[in-house]
Chain A
Amino acid sequence: MSQGTREKGRPIPSSAFAALLYVIMFVIYLLNSPSAITLAGITDLLNNTIVLALASAGLTLVILTAELDLSSVGVIAVTNVIVATVSTKFPGGAFISLVLVCLVGLLVGLINGWLVTFLGLQSLACTLGTMIVCQGIALLILEAPGGEVAAFIMNRLTDTLFGFMPVAGLILLLVITGWLLFRRTRLGIAIYAVGTDAVAARLTGLNVKRTKWIVFSLAGMAYGLAGYMLGAQTGTGDPRISNSFLLYVFAAVAIGGTSLGGGRGGVIGSVVGAGILTVMQKLLFAVGVAEFYTNIFNGVIMVVAILFGNLSAILSLRQRVITPRYRDRQFVPH
């Protein structure tokens, strides 16, 4: 995928392997609960996927630039409680809270980006700080799980549109189309360049700092939307979204074939990765296995998916694509 490093042939995108894995898991799920193929079943599945998918889509942008962002759970917690407290207070609260969550996400993203680019802090550590602060703010807004999400958000966003299109599916389609258009833009290409080799990107005249700053802000907004959709799904606000969700977000990105070292991967893979994790939860639930098996399967599936991704990387290498080694960002002469 990395632009400009391709010599001949198109590498197989690692998201293709994730998609294959998704199809396999979905078929197994289908065999165990045939109702999954109905419109209601698919809507339900997509509703369960969307929060993780939005959050991991945002994180993907950051990871592509070779930075990390832990603030997702913090932003989701804040925006979730905002939806649960604001959306029923005013007429048109659904819209007001939507604008509000986007602004909050944007604000946190801007702060993260500022800390990373202009103060030169290590992203892993300083986003850990913003995550903790955001969780604190969420607790100030809503001390305990509760609140109420406007019925409009709860009913419409989890339902189908025109009788056949699940709203969650529509949002996912929008995200994917948006990404396909975005990655062709100057900024989209710059993200890959910065992630592959920040020094080379700077020497070719790209504004590395600005690129990273924008990416953190976009990611923050994506987390905000994820918090909004979480509110739509649960109908209440919960300031204590667990840290294990954060690990799922990272797992979804990695399963989707995005290299945690930056520069390789994409949003589509992460959305599929989120889908894989969700289908697996539902599958294990449908089969009726105990919770501890779920955890073991989660761990195994992560490793298997990465091995799948590595396989794709090896196949891509065979097509003479120079990919930077993990965490070993040497200057690659083009």
Chain B
Amino acid sequence: MNDTGTRSLVSFATLKPETLTALLVLLAATLMMLVMKVLNPAFGSVQQIAAILTTSIFLVVASYGQGLVILLGGIDLSIGVVMSIAGMMIAGLTNGSNEALTWALPVTLASCVAIGLLNGLGVAFLKIPPFIMTLAVGTAFFGVALGVTAGSSQRTVAPALQVLMSARIGGIPIPTVLIGCFLVAGSLLQSHTTEGRKLYAIGSSMAAARVVGLPIEALTIAAYGVSGLCAGISGLLLAGYSSSATLDMGDPFLMPTIAAVVIGGACVTGGRGLYFGTFAGAIFLSALSTIITVLSLSQGWRNIIQGGIIIIALIVQSKQWYLLSIVNRRLPGKRSLYGVLPQNSES
């Protein structure tokens, strides 16, 4: 009972508030799919669920970096561009051969980490607001990529990556397995290492963290580096999934990474949030976009539904304490559902 992770599994009564948020979001995603199943019985086959999980891996991976950066009170707007660059690089360097992967993979990921580190350097040392630094770096590197590739890559991605995204282990698609591994590794790194806990401290109060003597600059740079790495991995997988790469393929993922982090219960001013929450947010958004695609609606209606559900999710997420307190009052005895109520960030 001394470990928070196991304790939250053991007893619902001492569930961490953030974990509860994440579970609610996952529940909402499941409900959404059930409603869809009722409306359209053809929907909801095992293949479709597997497809949702496969396509959610891009957002699950990319939003991990976004989550770390937001935890620090920053934001990373270069994720879309880095994803595209990773895809373009891996396609350009391997050109359809598996042998080239051995060196192309490290080179591509190192480039993505370098872009992330550049973001971090600007934020940590030049004190440029993260919003602008990452935006500027993203814009500039988009220009570089445009100059180098002249738009789209005509080359195909190494077959091994394509196999990775489509093959199965024991009947389970590899991407699903990867998502599971990534969730465990990401959560451990963020919430169960000292470095991860330091990120929470910095995000909660930069001034306090400075007084305590935490290596703020180094950790900031590292967080942006990890964000670049995650965007890079996500771009690689995306290139493998679509077997080719274009310069704008990462763009549609930028805004959803932010939405996933916030729906998952994090605070954009930093210091609060679990990766499990972000993960749940990413699954929710992926399921939502798949469902909307299945509905044969015009693009306009799809946008309206998607935006509307994001807002509703945010409202429910922010009001869950109120909703749960009603449930709580009906529980026998004086036991609280959760230890400490999070303070309302709004005055």
Contacts and interface: CB of A to CB of B under 8 A. Distances in A.
Contact of B143 (A134, A198, A247, A292): A292
Interface residues of B, number: 59
Contacts of A307: 126, 128
Interface string A280-304: 0000000000111111111110110
Contacts, number: 182
A33 interface: no
B276 interface: no
A325 interface: yes
Interface string B130-148: 0111011111111111110
B315 interface: yes
B206 A294 contact: no
A151 interface: no
B230 interface: no
Contacts of B300: 136-140, 143, 239
A247 B268 contact: no
Interface stretch (A2-10, A98-106, A122-130): A122-130
A115 interface: yes
Given A135-B303, A290-B147, A296-B143, A303 B133 contact: yes
Contacts of A299: 135-141, 143
Contact of B206 (A132, A250, A300, A328): A328
Given A243-B251, A296-B144, A302 B135 contact: yes
B139 A133 contact: no
Contact of B132 (A115, A133, A303): A303
A264 B206 CA distance: 19
Q: How large is the interface on A (under 10, 10 to 19, 20 to 34, 35 or more residues)?
A: 35 or more
A204 interface: no
B255 A128 contact: yes
Contacts of B346: 117, 120
Interface string A55-77: 00000000000001010000000
Contact of A251 (B132, B140, B207): B132
Contact of A247 (B77, B144, B147, B267): B77
A40 B319 CA distance: 55
A119 B319 contact: yes
Interface stretch (B27-35, B172-180, B304-312, B327-335): B304-312
A250 B298 contact: no
Contacts of B269: 327
Interface in A259-316: 259-261, 290-300, 302-303, 306-307, 310
Given A121-B314, A139-B303, A303 B136 contact: yes
Nearest to B129: A260
Query: Most chain-B Cβ atoms within 10 A of its Cβ — which of A131, A299, A310?
Result: A299
Given A125-B259, A136-B306, 9 more contacts: A115-B311, A119-B315, A122-B268, A131-B307, A132-B303, A132-B306, A136-B301, A243-B251, A298-B140
Interface of B: 73-75, 77, 122, 126-129, 131-133, 135-147, 205-207, 251, 255, 258-259, 262-263, 267-270, 298-308, 310-311, 314-315, 318-319, 344-347
12 contacts: A115-B315, A117-B346, A125-B259, A129-B308, A132-B307, A293-B147, A296-B147, A298-B140, A299-B140, A302-B136, A306-B132, A330-B205
